[in-house]
Structure formats: structure tokens, C-alpha cells
Structure 1
């Protein structure tokens, strides 16, 4: 872990957020961060910034994937979760296949190869979770073929994870190196164009998952460096309040789909349930080594909602 730089109370907070309707009001100052100066940094694409955050503590406050946060916490990276869901959705449709390939059921994947960007990718976490929960398929029943490393440097992949030389997950599928592929929402509309869900009724299966659990899978959350939370809690609170207001102000720009409803700020039963399920999935998949106490996570930032 890199040595933390010295923090000065008057320095602007360095904040890394993706570009969404609910983050733009902060970046264009439509919603001011009253009480704190902020430098909103950019990264295109976003994933390299996630790695920089958990490897170098490169930002004061940073958007981060759920699985990356759980792995960073497990590795002792000094960051604290803030109760904000920036991106989320269901993921039964994220398990894809070639449209002209053989139809496969989830049980057909046992003993086969499935492509995924990284074994630590959050979409993969949720997909492997429902595969085990609904079909009894353990992570070790499949060979997971990856195109990238995990964000957290301290983590070593299990023996059933293999690294490919391909740069894109969809190319693994098109070259027939894998029989199915896990693609996130943006990839489905990009490199995965033309691919079809493995499950023929994926949308309804995803909705049934949310009804059964009373929550929506979160993909991207928000963390703050522990030293910043300790030395500048008022600045962190100012940023959090502004983001919470921006999320509320842009509610009309989001539809009633799971992705639209997932975006939220504040500790809630839904968020706590989401973290509990995600942490359980992560432990089952050997992404983390120890059970997670969500109440302990909440306690560190509970003051934000008081």
C-alpha cells in the first residue's frame, strides 16, 4: 500500500465520479457543495480509476464497484463506505451467449468455460451469486476466463480462473474459447451487441430476484479515504449532502426499472440487505476471506444521515 500523502484542511477534496444525470449537477455546480471545495476529476474509462483508488489511495472520495469495495475492505485498504448507490440493476440478462450457438441452460455450464472481464468484476459477483442460489452451481464448477486483473492488488485468483490474451470478453465468445460470457450493462450495448441472454426470460428472472430479496443489486458505490473522513468529516458531509440532493433532484430522469430505482443515497434496509447478500456471495466465491458485518460498515458513516 502506498504511503498516504499529507492532507491539508484547505485543499479541495479530490473526487472521482462517473458522468451520470445524478452526478452532473455537482460537476456543473447546479447543486453546490456548500462548505467544501471539490476538484471533480475524470477517468475514461472508469475501471482504471477504481484500481488506482484501492492500490494507491489516489482520490479522497471515489466511486467504486461493490466487489472491489468488499475485496479492499477484506485486504485492509483504509477506505470507508459512504451510503450511496451510483449504479445498479439486475443481472440475469448479463450472462450471454452467441445468438446462433446452441441453447444452454445454466446447468449446462458446469465443467465449461465462461468469459468475464475480471473475476473480481461486480457483474460477475451477482451472476455467480444467482447461479448458485437458483441453480446450485458453485463458482468452482466453471472455469472463468478473464481479460483483466482484479482491482485489489493483494488478491490472488482461485485455481479455476484463467487469464486470456484477448482484450474483450465478447471476443472470447466469438472465438469459441468460452461457451458463455458475463457482460456489464455498457458492454451489452457495446462489444456485446448481438449477443443474447442465456436465460430466455432473463428480465422476469431478475425482477423475481429483487422481489424475493427486497433489494436491487448495487454495482457502484462510493468510498472515502479513512484519513479524510477522520480529519475532514465536515467536508465529507458537505459532499454527501450535495450528492444526496442531486440524486433526489434528478429522480424524474430515471425510469421505474431496477436500474432507475437502484440509484439512492442514505442507509436503508434495501442497501443493508444488498450489502449482506453481496458479501455472502463474495465469501461463497472466495472473493473475500471472512464474513462481513454490515452493521460495522454502517456505523462508520451513520453520522451522515443524522
Structure 2
């Protein structure tokens, strides 16, 4: 059998796993070099380019909704508090969450998971619904069948979100791993660390960013390898509450599914059971 192709990002939590050429059951594995890892998501959603692949949770549930031949594993490999990811120019303190109603926000893609979480925060905590904002994006969805809603426009190809923010063409932008460490930019949400702590205390879940998915035909043909990969990921996560596995993921996934439906990110309602049933069957959960 050819080595298992596993596209996984550069999180320190999984560095030791990625340093190995085999899974615990002895199956050979190769780790394609992809940076940033989100470049793998469309390849997996559209063409199932890998046997196993890290994938944004919004992309994963969209892929299920549109009938893509992938299996979503209850394996979280990235999460973070998103409150700090909505930024403004420090010179514009008048930009607050509430003033963004009718305002202009830039985000890499409307379907980006960080954007989904930030929109949920704006709606729940600040009363600003997604449809009340003018959204500017740099790219479309990883799942080709999804079309952005009408309040979304595409930025010129040459423009970066920060450049548009600097030029006053946007009031705020949402950034994730590329969040700048620069005093010219400040979080829109006051004291985002405290706000994130309060949100987590209220909801009791982490804001999950990325899961792992498997190509369906690989999972069906090699269930032992899928179980070995899942176990290796779970062991590397070490029981962290920020990286829920198995049943511990279900409350966060339920919130994601409800939020995605509310924001028009899904063509139909999905249940936690529908999303996870194929993996549960193979993993014996």
C-alpha cells in the first residue's frame, strides 16, 4: 500500500506525530508540505486530494451538506478565542461593534471559520446581524457549490485587507493566523480576552476552527489505518479541553451547525448525528 497522505498544519501540539514516518499501527504516512494549511481545504473538498486532511469546520460541514465523499472525524486540531480577530485602525476608536451595523468588514472568505465565529459574536453580544454588514472578501468558498450571499462583494485581486483598512475602504477586518502585531491596529471588541472568557463561561465550549476529515473510499477500505490515525491525533491532543475529541466535540459542533444555518452558510439543516455517523461507525464510537 502507498503511504497515507495526510495534510496537517504546523501546530506544535502535533509536531511529534508529524515527525514520524508511520502511524502507531505501522502504516506508512507522508506529510505533504502545505503552508498555510488552508490551501489544502479546497483541494480536499473539491477533489479529495488527500487520504486525511485538516479542514476548517465550516468547510467540513458544507462538504457534508453538498454530498462530498468525505468523512468528518470528531478530532479537533485547532481552536482559538476569536474576539481579538476583529480589528480596526487604532486611530479610529469610534469604530465599535455596534457602529459596524451598516459598516464595511473585510474577511478572506465569507465562509472562513474565524468569520463565522466573529459574526456570531457580533450578533449575540452586540446585536449586529450578518446581513446588516457589507462584507468584502478576497476569495470564494472552498466548496465550489456554495455562493456568497448578496451583501458580499469581492475585493480587487491586488488588494490586501490591511491595505483596504489603511486606506479607509473598510471599517474593520477579520484576520486569523495572520493577525498583525502592530500598534497601528486594535481590536474592535473592547478587552477581547475578558470578552472571550465570558463567552466561554456562558457557552462551555471552545470556538473550534479545524477538524480532520478522511477521503470516504480510503476510510472504508482502510478502517484500521483510520482508527490508528484518529488515536494518534487524540493522544497528541492530550485531553485538552480546547481540542475536543469524540463525544466532547458534539456541543461545539451543534453550535457551529446552528450558526452556519443562521448565517446562510448551509443549504439545509444538518444534525450532529448526520455529520459524525460515518466516522462513529468506523471508529466504533
Structure 2: give runs of 5+ residues left out of the alignment: none
Q: 2:92 aligns with which of 95, 101, 107?
A: 101
Report the alpha carbon displacement of residue 31 of structure 1 after superposing the two structures with TM.
8.1
Q: In 1, Cα distance between the equivalents of 2:12 and 2:251? A: 25
Aligned with 1:85 (options 76, 82, 85):
76
Instruction: Normalising by structure 2, report the TM-score.
Output: 0.93
Residue number in structure 2 paired with 1:12:
3
- Matched residue, 1:300: 278
Give the drift of 1:305: 6.0
Once residues 192 and 51 of structure 2 are traced to their aligned partners in structure 1, the CA distance between those partners, rounded to angstroms, is 38
Matched, 1:183 2:175: yes
Structure 1: state its 5+ residue gaps.
1-9, 252-259
Give the superposition deviation at 1:266. Answer: 2.8
How many residues are aligned here? 283
Matches within 5 A, 1:1-306: 10-29=1-20, 32-165=23-156, 166-184=158-176, 186-189=177-180, 194-248=184-238, 261-268=241-248, 271-302=249-280, 303-304=282-283, 306=285
CA RMSD for the aligned pairs? 1.9
Partner SS state of residue 91, structure 2: coil
Distance 1:71 1:141, change over 3 A: same
The answer for the alignment partner of 1:256 in structure 2 is none
Residue 77 of structure 2 aligns to a residue whose secondary structure is: strand
Counterpart-to-counterpart distance in 2, 1:30 and 1:266: 25
Residue 38 to residue 48, structure 1, CA distance change in 2 (3 Å) = same
**TM-score, L = length of structure 1:** 0.87
Pick which of 193-202 and 69-78 moved more.
Answer: 193-202
Inter-CA distance 298–103: structure 2 relative to 1 (3 Å threshold): same
Q: Could you list the structure 1 runs, at least 4 aligned residues long, displaced by more than 3 angstroms after superposition.
A: none
> In the TM superposition, what is the alpha-carbon distance from 1:158 to its structure 2 partner?
0.6
Q: 1:35 to 1:224 in 2, by over 3 A?
A: same
Displacement after TM superposition at 1:32 (Å): 4.3
SS at match of 1:97: strand
Shift of 1:189: 3.5
